[in-house]
Amino acid sequence: MRKSYYAAHVYMIVGVISGLYYREFTKANHFEGDTQLSLIHTHLLALGMLGFLIVLALDKQFQLSGAKLFTYFFWFYNAGIAITVAMMFVHGTETVLGSHVPEAVPWIAGLGHTLLTVGLILLFVLLGKRLNESATTEPAESEPAKTSA
């Protein structure tokens, strides 16, 4: 569970810093227009911080972090966020500077999205297994206890 907490915390910090970078970098370069830098802040806070806070709550309820699938989810999902956000950073910075965005950037960003998807699939598979386990181990509703007269 600690891994999810620390991941959420790191994404919160990096998300706030990315918002500051966007504001100051565009202001310093007198840029007015659309850039992917404006989206990094939201992606890090939503996919990173909020995503891992939700996973933390699910982990508390269903003991997800002890499973091997959780480790795979954790690393695939984090790699997906890192690659996606890094490409948004490159694309946005190049846009603000008026430079040509390398053609590899969208391809690499697609890889990041693919890793995110794999991570989410692994999370849902693990969650489904835990739900099935809890359904088979929970006692069925019993009749009310009889009182002796």
Residue type for 103, please? E
Q: How confident is the model at residue 144, as a pLDDT?
A: 59
pLDDT at 135: 77
CA distances from 92 to 35, 46, 58, 97 (A): 5, 19, 34, 9
Please give the single-letter amino acid code of residue 134: S
**For residues 30 and 25, what is the distance between their CA atoms, to the nearest angstrom?**
9
Task: HSE, CB side, 13 Å, CA atoms: give it for residue 133.
Answer: 10
Averaged over successive runs of 10 residues, the pLDDT of the chain (149 residues) comes to: 97 98 98 96 98 98 95 98 98 97 96 98 97 77 57
